[in-house]
Amino acid sequence: MKIAVCVKHVPEGSSKLDPGSKRLDRSGEGALNHFDANAVEEALRLKGDSDTEVVVVSMGPEKAADSLRKALAMGADRAVLVTDDALAGSDLVATSKVLAKILERENPDLVLFGQQASDADGAVLWAAVAERLRRPVVSQAAELSIAGETVHVKRQTEFGYDVIETALPAVVAVSDAINEPRYPSLKGIMGAKKKPSETVSLGDLGLDAGDVGEAGSKTEVLALGSPPARGDARKIEGDGNAAQAIVDFLAEKRLI
């Protein structure tokens, strides 16, 4: 069995937008998207002591290899990074096209995603990739198991849980409630340096610059602006009289 985990290299700390390009500033340090760490952990738990292969896949700049190395240090077997200057500015549509191409080449039995990326919070990339692959997709997985050729998912919803079964191959997006990702051990960090790690270009996937970047994207950021200013506000300091000050304020506004 082969499990592919799609991961993303995201900016560390607070995200900033570049007013010139209207894109997220990715010039600083980055890290493995913490939601994707749950997906890597779940793949490793499903693997257990079996001969299942766990391959981590990412699209991004060359420094995204740092995040892939963390996934390898956690226990993944192999990593594939799609990197090309033409990828800059790719939206969800263009990104899903690239990921679908590399996943078609890998042909895994199960594709795992984290529920969202901390730099975008779109939470729909997994659905777009599944659509391109023509595979069933289940999101918000809080529990996941495989029996034969069937994947069993306990899906978290606003009203409780759905229990869903679907045939493999399939795509599953896991929630951050599904597990607690392990910390890479020193042995794992050292071992990650020896594990196979492949870098792939657009040409290797049969794609060109017109399929990705701004040319291959279907969305466009037209303008950036500051949020509207707040109305009149009163700041109450916690000096021991805060509770009474709040009561007085509410009384003044005739709310109590």
Give the whole-angstrom CA distance, residue 76 versus residue 44: 7
Could you report how far apart the first and last alpha carbons of the chain are, in Å? 63
Q: At a CB cut-off of 8 Å and minimum separation 6, what does 174 contact?
A: 38, 39, 42, 112, 113, 114, 115, 140, 141, 142, 144
Average pLDDT, the chain: 90
Which domains occur in the chain, in start order?
2-216 (3.40.50.620)
Rounded mean pLDDT, 168-194: 95
Q: Is the pLDDT of residue 14 over 70?
A: no
pLDDT tens by residue, 135-148 = 999 999 999 999 99
Pick the residue with more confidence: 133 or 233? 133
Give the whole-angstrom CA distance, residue 103 versus residue 115: 18
**What are the DSSP E strand ranges found in the chain?**
2-6, 9-11, 17-18, 23-24, 30-32, 53-59, 78-82, 110-114, 137-147, 150-157, 160-167, 170-174, 197-200
Using DSSP bridges, classify how beta strands 110-114 and 160-167 pair: parallel, antiparallel or unpaired.
unpaired
Using DSSP bridges, classify how beta strands 17-18 and 23-24 pair: parallel, antiparallel or unpaired.
antiparallel
Rounded mean pLDDT, 120-124: 80
Q: What is the pLDDT of residue 68?
A: 96
Q: Is the pLDDT of residue 165 over 70?
A: yes
CA 95 to chain centroid: 12
Residue 42's closest CA among 3, 77, 8?
A: 3
